[in-house]
Amino acid sequence: RCGRVAGRAGSITQMPILTMLNDDITHPVPDLTGYITEGQIVLS
């Protein structure tokens, strides 16, 4: 996600990083995080 702060130069960017037990990307936490952030990148 990114955005601007009123009255300030520049922008804010957020990159959530999750580590899940047994690399289970079907767990609700990474699934909902992918929905909220509009995508996922899976690294092994």
pLDDT for residue 3? 75
Beta bridge partners of 2: 13
The answer to whether 15 and 36 have CB atoms below 8 angstroms apart is no
pLDDT for residue 7? 86
pLDDT digits 0-9 by tens, 1-44: 567 778 888 877 777 777 777 877 777 776 666 666 566 677 77
pLDDT for residue 8? 84
pLDDT for residue 20? 76
Please give the helix or strand (H or E) that residue 35 lies within, else none: helix 28-37
Break the chain into its structural domains and give their ranges. 2-37
Distances (CA, A) of 36 to 1, 14, 29, 39: 9, 12, 11, 8
